[in-house]
Chain A
Amino acid sequence: DAKTTQPPSMDCAEGRAANLPCNHSTISGNEYVYWYRQIHSQGPQYIIHGLKNNETNEMASLIITEDRKSSTLILPHATLRDTAVYYCIVSPRSNDYKLSFGAGTTVTVRA
């Protein structure tokens, strides 16, 4: 599976949009981009995934560049409860039960 690169940490202000970048320059054509987050003392929580089109759900938006080498997760109105480690993962759908979690980005939302 392709590897991803994320900044180790970032801060954002409560109520503002949080834009989390992810580089996946070696992504293959059949690999999806998945985002999970892990709030302290909990298991990972699925956020969103996409192949090449931008995706939006009730939690976030996923913007994938046209060459698919990078993506951005957008939390439109960050709250204190969004403080968590965010993981960007690329995987074929056929292997998405064995996700390769990296170190992720620790996002701290400040009041």
Chain B
Amino acid sequence: ETGVTQSPTHLIKTRGQQVTLRCSSQSGHNTVSWYQQALGQGPQFIFQYYREEENGRGNFPPRFSGLQFPNYSSELNVNALELDDSALYLCAFRRRAEESPLHFGNGTRLTVT
């Protein structure tokens, strides 16, 4: 049990639509990272938020965006969905700043049809 909650667990959207995925941590912390995991592959880093600002980004287009709230919960937004966006989306928190490894939630499975 990591104490990281993601919602919803599963989601089906149509190409061109927009989606918002949510993540929260029981303990709360000022750093949250988001990852995309396509079927059969390892997770790929999307971006990280620190104190409500994006401070690191992987190789993902601007239609992937995020928010972090004062209570340290976070959202991942994806606009203009494409079929290739079908994946498991994972968020991860640290328990303490720079002193602990990432703790992941169980993800949201997004299917784009």
User: Within 8 Å CB of B94, what residues of A?
Assistant: 97
User: Within 8 Å CB of A41, what residues of B?
Assistant: 106
In the complex the two chains form, what is the Cα distance from A46 to B104 in whole Å?
9
- The digit string for B65-101, where 1 denotes a CB below 8 A from any CB of A, is 0000000000000000000000000101010001001
User: Within 8 Å CB of B24, what residues of A?
Assistant: none
Q: Is A93 located at the chain interface by the 8 A CB criterion?
A: yes
Contact A102 to B42, CB < 8 A, known contacts A43-B105, A49-B101, A96-B102: yes
- The digit string for A87-100, where 1 denotes a CB below 8 A from any CB of B, is 10000010011111
User: How many of chain A's residues touch chain B, expressed as a range?
Assistant: 20 to 34
In the complex the two chains form, what is the Cα distance from A93 to B44 in whole Å?
18
In the complex the two chains form, what is the Cα distance from A44 to B82 in whole Å?
25
Contact B90 A99 (CB under 8 A): no
Q: Is B8 located at the chain interface by the 8 A CB criterion?
A: no
Nearest CB in chain A to that of B49: its residue: A97
User: Within 8 Å CB of B41, what residues of A?
Assistant: 103
